[in-house]
Amino acid sequence: MAPKICQNHFSVTSAVNEYNWQIEHQCPQCGAPVILEETDRIFLCPYCRTKLYLIPNDYFRYCIAPADATSREIIYIPYWRLKGLSFSIQHSEVSHRFVDTNILAFTFPGVPSSLGLRPQVFRLKFASPEINGTFCNPQISVREVMDHFGTPDPLSIYHTFIGETVNLIYSPMYLENNVLYDSILKRPVSTLETGDSERLMASRASSRGNISFISTLCPQCGWDLQGEKDAVVLICKNCDSAWGCRGSAFTNVAYAIMANGESVSHYLPFWRMRARIEGIRLESYGDLIRAGNLPKAITRTFEETPLYFWCPAFKVNPALFLRWARQMTVSQPEEKTRELSQGMSLYPATLPISEAEESIMITIADIITVKRIIPLLPEIRINVNEFLLVYHPFTSRQSELVHTTMKLSIDKRSLAYGICL
């Protein structure tokens, strides 16, 4: 699919987000039905122009509507929906893969272990309190499902999942004469044994984790915040501030724009993280040079330079994610910053800091070569105590964007938002 945009805005291409599911939601202002993509964080009503930011309490919970109106009590069975990057460490090697799946979050004989293609065929709805039925609590935690995607390789010493999307999706069923039926296909899926029915009812969820809809006005100056619809950080171009959500409100996100380079066409966002690491010594740049055997002389300045971990703040495939995290952490870019100006092309930050933190262990494993440190990896504890969103300058060169000072390039087609080739 050809990228659609030029210059200062971006449009979604099929590069990464090919199978986004769609959610129908009524505009809280005018009642019109609005279609959202599952990754959307901004709700924009095309009829009354209401613009709101969506915040889940924990996960977004969606349901598939039953095939037709029925007087039967609908029982909604939960599935975890996971999309993101899975990394695992075996000895000193990091392996990775892209995960896009859904999996039954419940143990019940006969119930299909996956939703298959359903969510692509049927529109989803938020599992809001107006929807009648019994919603069952997941019995398998999302952590258990993520662990399942780590390599079952016995040599794997660590694995992590960097989630682009982690949601719960409910599929409708109903009970008739002690048989559980799929309410879309109208097919029996399970004959209940003694106690099964009670077990289903006992797992009824007491809460469906309501979503908050909040205003997209800058909490500091009241201007409309800017951001693509799946951005996790929104920018106020009036008072030069950045906002992400924590709990159910926007909080200020420290951010900087790197100044260097001529003919900058785009700025791509990266997270810069400082962490307290227990178990191995990795405080200064000098420590990293030693642990990674990097081809640099350790100077006193390097011994005193605090070590920052870096990773992309945008969605990209796992190989590129790892490569950029490694290269930026190894080179510790440190440049002058500049102010935000009108017309600057800031690529949307779509990976939240909570997920970015998961990358640090993988970056360490990818860089470290000193053999005696490798066995210590499973024992280390990482606490991020400072983070900054940094927009790095890139120049456009044919099919690539090239970092203006590091000279590293990224293929434009690997970015979820299209950039003119």
Quick note: the x/- pattern for Zn ion over 45-64, rule CB under 5 A, is x-xx-x--------------
Nearest distance from residue 20's CB to Zn ion, in Å?
22
Residue pair 64/185 in contact (Cβ under 8 Å)? The answer is no
Residue closer to Zn ion by CB (options 158, 223) is: 223
Nearest distance from residue 245's CB to Zn ion, in Å?
16
Nearest distance from residue 243's CB to Zn ion, in Å?
9
Quick note: the x/- pattern for Zn ion over 161-200, rule CB under 5 A, is ----------------------------------------
Residue closer to Zn ion by CB (options 94, 340) is: 340
Nearest to 227 by CA among 27, 53, 30, 28: 53
Residue closer to Zn ion by CB (options 29, 317) is: 29
Residue pair 274/289 in contact (Cβ under 8 Å)? The answer is no
Residue closer to Zn ion by CB (options 181, 391) is: 391
Nearest distance from residue 305's CB to Zn ion, in Å?
33
- Please report, as residue ranges, which positions from 4 to 43 form the binding site for Zn ion (by CB under 5 A): 27, 29-30, 32
Nearest distance from residue 349's CB to Zn ion, in Å?
17
Nearest distance from residue 351's CB to Zn ion, in Å?
23
Residue closer to Zn ion by CB (options 32, 155) is: 32
Going from the C-alpha of 50 to that of each of 43, 56, 166, 242, the distances in angstroms are: 8, 19, 26, 21
Nearest distance from residue 230's CB to Zn ion, in Å?
20
Residue closer to Zn ion by CB (options 98, 223) is: 223
SS (H, E, C) the chain: CCCCCCCCCCEECCCCCCCCCEEEEECCCCCCEEEEECCCCEEECCCCCCEEEEEECCCEEEEECCCCCCCCCEEEEEEEEEEEEEEEEECCEEEEEEEEEEEECCCCCCCCCCCCCHHHHCCEEECCCCCCCEEECCCCCHHHHHHHHCCCCCCEEEEEEEEEEEEEEEEEEEEECCEEEECCCCEEEEECCCCHHHHHHHCECCCCCCEEEEECECCCCCCECECCCCCCCEEECCCCEEEEEECCEEEECCEEEECCCCCCCEEEEEEEEEEEEECCCCCEHHHHHHHHCCCCCCCHHHHHCECCEEEECCCCCHHHHHHHHHHHHHHCCCCCEECCCCCCCECCCCCCHHHHCCHHHHHHHHHCCCCCCHHHHHHCEEEEEEEEEEEEEEEEECCEEEECCCCCEEEHHHCCEECCC
Residue closer to Zn ion by CB (options 34, 373) is: 34
Q: Give the tokens for residue 210.
A: 């309501």
- Please report, as residue ranges, which positions from 201 to 260 form the binding site for Zn ion (by CB under 5 A): 218, 220-221, 223, 236, 238-239
Residue closer to Zn ion by CB (options 59, 213) is: 213
- Please report, as residue ranges, which positions from 98 to 157 form the binding site for Zn ion (by CB under 5 A): none
Nearest distance from residue 242's CB to Zn ion, in Å?
10
Q: Judged by CB under 5 A, how many residues of this single chain contact Zn ion?
A: 15
Q: Can you tell me the distance from the alpha carbon of 215 to that of 160, in angstroms, rounded to the nearest whole number? A: 33
Quick note: the x/- pattern for Zn ion over 308-347, rule CB under 5 A, is ----------------------------------------
Nearest distance from residue 48's CB to Zn ion, in Å?
3
Residue closer to Zn ion by CB (options 158, 213) is: 213
Nearest distance from residue 254's CB to Zn ion, in Å?
15
Residue closer to Zn ion by CB (options 218, 245) is: 218
What is the contact surface with Zn ion in residues (CB under 5 A)? 27, 29-30, 32, 45, 47-48, 50, 218, 220-221, 223, 236, 238-239
